[in-house]
Amino acid sequence: MPRWLISAVIILVALSWIPLALAVRARTVKKTEPRIHIIQDMDNQPKVKAQSRFTLFADRRGMRPPVAGTVERSAAIGDEATQRGRIADGEWVETTPVEVTPALLARGRERYDIYCSPCHGLAGYGDGMVSRRADQLQEGTWTPPTSFHTELVLSRPDGHIFNSISNGIRNMPSYGSQIPVADRWAIVAYVRALQRSQNATVDDVPIELRAQLR
């Protein structure tokens, strides 16, 4: 083998170590600048940091106030029982802690019709439009909304129903982020009214009107 070839091979082998040495150095030595970052993907993006100015909005605030209608996590009404539907030792609140008035029931009815009736039906039998459509599709994955006129729901304390709205129950999603605490109690009162309307007896009718029924 000619000597020049041996020298060339030795030099090439020596040179081939340089990239490796550079890589090892880059990984171990600390630097003040950020690393070379050739493929960016979405690692570095422009963004508005908390409490900073931002000229897109007229008030120059980067942080935006909550959208109208945003539900506070803990609206400042009532005590713990009103907030959570439970009393301190974990027992359910037996009856609605807010005063039940015709105005509250009217509000409850309106909110119920908006938020609950699509599944539970206007009278609470679990036959809302969503549920009927799901039955029609026959996909076999639909859990029917519980009828309020079953022993189970009739026997639930008010606080339990409040909690089902706040946090959801089994397959039912939570409505706590959409319905404020006061409206949840209004809905509970209206659910109780619905139950009473479907399980009424002659004794619930004022005496002077009973004759008209017979």
Two tokens, residue 146: 């519980």
Q: Which is nearer to ligand HEC, 152 or 209 (CB)?
A: 152
Helices (H) and strands (E) in the chain, counts: 9, 0
186 is a site residue for ligand HEC (CB under 6 A)? no
Q: Is residue 126 within 8 Å of 146, Cβ to Cβ?
A: yes
Query: Does the protein bind ligand HEC through residue 181 (CB under 6 A)?
Result: no
3-state secondary structure at position 92:
strand
Choose the stretch contacting ligand HEC; rule: CB under 6 A; options: 31-39, 77-85, 139-147, 196-204.
139-147
Size of the site for ligand HEC (CB under 6 A): 23
Nearest CA-CA partner of 96 in 199, 182, 204, 174: 182
Report the residue from 120, 185, 192, 194 that binds ligand HEC according to the rule CB under 6 A. Answer: 120
- Residues 35-64 within binding reach of ligand HEC (CB under 6 A): none
Of 22 and 114, CB closest to ligand HEC: 114
Residue with Cβ nearer ligand HEC (119 or 181): 119
Which two structure tokens, joined as six digits, stand for 18? 């340089």
Residue nearer to ligand HEC on the CB measure, 48 or 123: 123
Considering the rule CB under 6 A, would residue 125 count as an interface residue with ligand HEC? no
Residue 105 CA to chain centroid, in angstroms? 25
90: left (phi over 0), alpha (psi -120 to 50) or beta: left
Taking CB under 6 A as the criterion, the residue among 85, 108, 121, 145 binding ligand HEC is 145
CB 85 within 8 A of CB 169: no
Judged by beta carbon, residue 29 or residue 152, the one nearer ligand HEC is 152
Q: Does 105 bind ligand HEC (CB under 6 A)?
A: no
Residues pairing with 86 in the sheet: 92
One of 75, 87, 134, 172 touching ligand HEC (CB under 6 A): 172
What is the secondary structure of 165-203 as a DSSP string?
HHH-BTTBPP-TTTS-HHHHHHHHHHHHHHHHHHS--GG
Give the residues lining the site for ligand HEC (CB under 6 A): 115-116, 118-120, 130, 143, 145-146, 152-153, 156, 160-161, 164-165, 169-172, 175, 187, 191
